[in-house]
Every structure is written in C-alpha cells, then in structure tokens.
Amino acid sequence: MSDLGSEEIEEEAENDLGEYEGERNEAGERHGQGKARLPNGDTYEGHYANGKRNGKGFYRFKNGARYIGEYIDNKKHGQGTFIYPDGSKYEGDWVEDQRHGSGVYYYINGDTYTGEWFNHNRHGQGTYFYALTGSKYVGTWANGQQEGAAELIHLNHRFQGKFVNKNPMGPGKYIFDIGCEQHGEYIHEEKVEEEEEEETLLPAIPKWKASKITGLTLWAPEEPPPLVEVTAADKIPSVMEPLTEDLSGAEGESLLEASAESTEATAETAEPTETTISPKDVEEEEESAKEEQKDSAMEEKEEETKEAEPRE
C-alpha cells in the first residue's frame, strides 16, 4: 500500500483554507514548532523551517495512516516509522519519501523483512521470515524479488543455491539436520496447454533433480582433556629444600632456627614407639615354655630307657 497518501498535496498558501498555530519567521512563514491542519483533513505537529516541514514531526493522515520521524522540505527523509491503515508498519531509513537504506517491515500476516531497501523496494541483502511455516529466506533481493545467492531455512532442513525471480534455479543442495546432504539442481520446465485455437504457455514450475546423497555424519561429543596426575610432592613443598633467599642478618638466622626446629620436630615424630605387652600375653608365654620343658624331659627319659635295655 502506498504510504504517500494525501501528503503529496502541498500545504496551501496563507490565503487558502487551513489552520496553523505556532512560530513564524520575519517573513511570516511557518518556522519553528507548530501545529497545522491541512485542507484535506490531514494534521501535522512538529518542526518547520521557512514554511516547510523540516526536522522531527508527527503526520496523521485522514485515512488513519501515521508517520513519526524526520522531514526535509516537506518530504520524509532520515529515520522514521510509518504505520499503514491496514496495520502493517515500517521502521527505518527514508530518502525523499521513499523507503531507502536499512529498515524492518512488519506485515499484517506476521511476516517480517529485515534488510536493505532501494527506492521503496526490498533490494540488497535481507532476511524474510514466514510466520506461517517458521521458514526464513536469507539472501539477496532485486527490485522487491528474491534474486541471487541465498539460503532457505526450514525447521529441519535448509536449501542453499540461487534464486531467479523468487524461484530457485540451477545447482544447489539440501542440508538435513540428521547429518546428510542431497545435491542436485532445479530445472524449470515450461508446460504447454493445448487448446482448440491456440497454445498457451503456463508459468514455468521449478523441478528438483537430485544427483547424489552424502552419507550420514553422526555427531560425537568432544573428548575431554587428559587428566594430569598430581602427587603430594607437587602440592606440598619439602621442608628440606634449600632456601634460595638471602639469609644474612637477624632475619636469616631466625629463619634458619625455625627451619632447624621444624626438622627436629619431624625427626622426633618419625621415631618408632615401643610396643606394650599385656599380662595375659606374659602368662601364655610362661605356660608355653613349661610345656616345652615337660616335653623335653619326657623325650630324655625315653632315650635313657632305650639305652638301659639289653641288646641281643
């Protein structure tokens, strides 16, 4: 929808119908901050310079459209937001009443276009989001149409290739989230509808022709870095390590004395302790010694008896 509307009609001269409240210059022209009602029913409130809208202002059209932004010589120029009667909205750059530069257009069906504009059309690099399907077209545009290298991103796959007059054309590939790719090309086939009197050419419909499919590329988590074994010696320095600092003077002597005391304390701690024996253990040892003596005496007596027997 055109956003020019009745704004194309210039404000009327002083002797024509219309109202104005605000500042003027010495020549009687509208100059500075002011508010005007145009003869066609539109209203403007903002800044003027030498009788023309210049600077920031708010223009309300009789049909319900609104523009809030910058003006130069009665034309939208600079940054501004235009709200259309159907509810769609454009936010971005303007040059002489045209969408020109970078901007975002919000459509009434929920779609959005974010990118470059030229002479009121999508032109250059831009992204179009389809609210119904959740897909996105990311690529180049020419005179409002999808044209050139682009990527069409869907929920679980995407297509990379070239577009001509908003249709895919030539070689490209589909990349699936499961890890494989399908390479091929789009071919446009023109269908001919035969009638009794003349033949009618129908619009060309792009047809995908696959050539190869790559294998699945399974995702694998990255291997964790190897663990470095840290010993107790790495954590706690030995008290026996030589001191590398200068130990001269009183401070050095005190440090040496502290080191010697620490070494002696360590040595004393390292000495083994005596083993204590309970009285029960002593009694068991004495009984064992008596049994051994008794057995030894019986063995000696048997030997003597054998020696005293007469020999044949």
pLDDT in tens, 160-170: 999 998 899 99
Predicted pLDDT of residue 268: 42
Q: Is residue 204 part of a domain?
A: yes
Q: Is residue 95 part of a domain?
A: yes
Please say if the pLDDT value at position 174 is more than 70.
Answer: yes
Predicted pLDDT of residue 273: 41
Number of other residues whose CB lies within 10 A of the CB of residue 113: 20
Mean pLDDT over each residue of the chain, to the nearest integer: 78
**Which segments of the chain does DSSP mark as H helices, in order?**
232-235, 249-270, 279-308
Q: Give the mean model confidence (pLDDT) for residues 242-263.
A: 45
Select the more confidently predicted residue: 237 or 222.
222
Domain end position, chosen among 76, 108, 140: 108
pLDDT bin (cut points 50, 70, 90) of residue 266 is very low
Q: How many domains are contained in the chain?
A: 2
Q: Is residue 302 part of a domain?
A: no
Q: Is residue 274 part of a domain?
A: no
Select the more confidently predicted residue: 282 or 297.
297
Q: Which domain holds residue 152?
A: 123-191+200-216
For position 6, which CATH number holds? 2.20.110.10
Our CA angle for 272, 274, 280, nearest 5°, is 145
pTM: 0.63
Burial of 112 (0-12, 13-18, 19+ CB in 10 A): middle
C-alpha 29/C-alpha 18 separation (Å) is: 14
Q: Is residue 262 part of a domain?
A: no
